[in-house]
Amino acid sequence: MQKLFDNGEGKEINRVWNHLAGSSDWLEDYGVHLMIRGLMCSSISQRNAPILSLTYAQVFDSDWNELKDTHLVTSDDSKSLESGSLKFPSFVKVPLYHDLSSLVERYYGPEDLRITL
């Protein structure tokens, strides 16, 4: 996790962020594995007390080497994507409900992430 969230000192970020298991699928047309995983944030630095999770997407080659700063160009007929290109690694924009005034015994964000193609 240090490489993902290095704040220059490599300390504080690693204590509050943890990752969940990921889900992946082979994208035949691109020759890459697409993986998504959840990243959890805990304000008290405890993995079992998260307050927020975010969805993080990565791509890997056939030998599971991560491809950084990679763009996958989507087909022109895709109406759901604004730019026609997806950059990896990146956070996936997933709408979520949150109430910053109510964080006690609350957990915000997606969980049990899966990919289906």
The pLDDT score that the predictor gives to residue 28 is 93
CB of 22 within 8 A of CB of 35?
yes
CB of 9 within 8 A of CB of 2?
no
The pLDDT score that the predictor gives to residue 40 is 79
User: Before 89, cis peptide (omega within 30)?
Assistant: yes
Maximal C-alpha separation, the chain: 45
The pLDDT score that the predictor gives to residue 59 is 96
Look at the block and give the residue holding tokens 């609350």: 106
Q: Could you list the pLDDT tens digit for every one of the 117 residues in the chain?
A: 334 444 455 445 556 777 777 889 999 999 999 999 888 777 666 666 667 778 899 999 999 999 999 998 876 555 555 557 889 999 888 777 777 676 666 666 777 677 777
The pLDDT score that the predictor gives to residue 83 is 55
The pLDDT score that the predictor gives to residue 39 is 81
* Alpha carbon of residue 54 to chain centroid: 6
CB of 39 within 8 A of CB of 72?
no
The DSSP symbol for 19 reads E
The pLDDT score that the predictor gives to residue 5 is 45
The pLDDT score that the predictor gives to residue 109 is 73
